[in-house]
Amino acid sequence: MGMVIAAAHTATHHGTGPASAVELASRAARACLSQAQVSPSSVGVLINVGVYRESNTFEPALAALVQKEVGINLDYIADPAPAAGFSFDLMNGACGVLNAVQLAQSLLGTGSAERVLITAADVHPGGDARRDPDYPYADLAGALLLQRSADPDAGFGPVSVYSGDGPGDTEGYLDTAAMGSDGRSRITVRRTEGHGERRSALATACAVGYAREHGIDLDRTLVVGPRTGEDPSAGQDIGAGEPHTAAPILGYLQALAAPRPEDCDRLLMVAAGAGPSAACVAYRPEGW
Half-sphere exposure of 146 (CA within 13 A, CB side): 32
What pLDDT, on the 0 to 100 scale, is given for residue 176?
67
Q: What is the mean pLDDT of residues 110-132?
A: 90
**pLDDT, tens digit, 9 for 90 and up, residues 199-228:** 888 999 999 999 999 999 999 999 998 764
As a whole number of angstroms, the distance between CA 36 and CA 215 comes to 32
230 has pLDDT over 50: no
What pLDDT, on the 0 to 100 scale, is given for residue 45?
95
**pLDDT, tens digit, 9 for 90 and up, residues 172-200:** 777 766 666 666 777 777 887 878 888 88
78 has pLDDT over 80: no
Domains in the chain: ranges and CATH: 3-152 (3.40.47.10), 160-284 (3.40.47)
117 has pLDDT over 80: yes
What pLDDT, on the 0 to 100 scale, is given for residue 120?
97
**pLDDT, tens digit, 9 for 90 and up, residues 124-174:** 888 788 888 888 899 999 999 999 998 988 999 999 999 877 777 777 777
3-state SS, one letter per residue, for the chain? CCEEEEEEEEEECCCCCCCCHHHHHHHHHHHHHHHHCCCHHHCCEEEECCCCCHHHCCCCCHHHHHHHHHCCCCCCCCCCCCCCCEEEECCCHHHHHHHHHHHHHHHHHCCCCCEEEEEEEECCCCCCHHHCCCCCECCEEEEEEEEECCCCCCEECCCEEEECCCCCCEEEECCCCCCHHHHHHCCEEEECCCHHHHHHHHHHHHHHHHHHHHCCCHHHEEEECCCCCCCCCCCCCCCCCECCCCHHHHHHHHHHHCCCCCCCCEEEEEEEECCCEEEEEEEECCCC
